Amino acid sequence: MLKITQIKSAIGYKPKAKRTLFALGLKKMNHYVEKTDTPQIRGMIKKIDYLIKVEEV
């Protein structure tokens, strides 16, 4: 399992980055979600690594 926390606001970033945040279920700063570790989730994380923090649970 991965704990994904949004650490930066999506304001001022490209719409694609915002859509990726919403696809992960992140809507507000300091909000977190727990997701299973799959290649699809890892790909999303790689695209927006500057907006989030990832921890192994």
**For the chain, how many structural domains are there in total?**
1
Q: Dump pLDDT digits (tens) for 1-15.
A: 999 999 999 999 999
pTM more than 0.85:
yes
CATH code of the domain in which 45 resides = 3.30.1390.20
**Tokens at residue 40, please?**
């699809």
Which domain covers residue 37, as residue numbers?
Answer: 2-56
DSSP helix/strand/coil, 34: strand
CA–CA dist 13, 55 (Å, integer): 23
Contacts of 8 (CB under 8 A, 6+ apart): 29, 50, 51, 52
Q: Dump pLDDT digits (tens) for 13-53.
A: 999 999 999 999 999 999 999 999 999 999 999 999 999 99
Find where tokens 């921890």 sit: 55
Element (H, E) at 21: helix 15-24
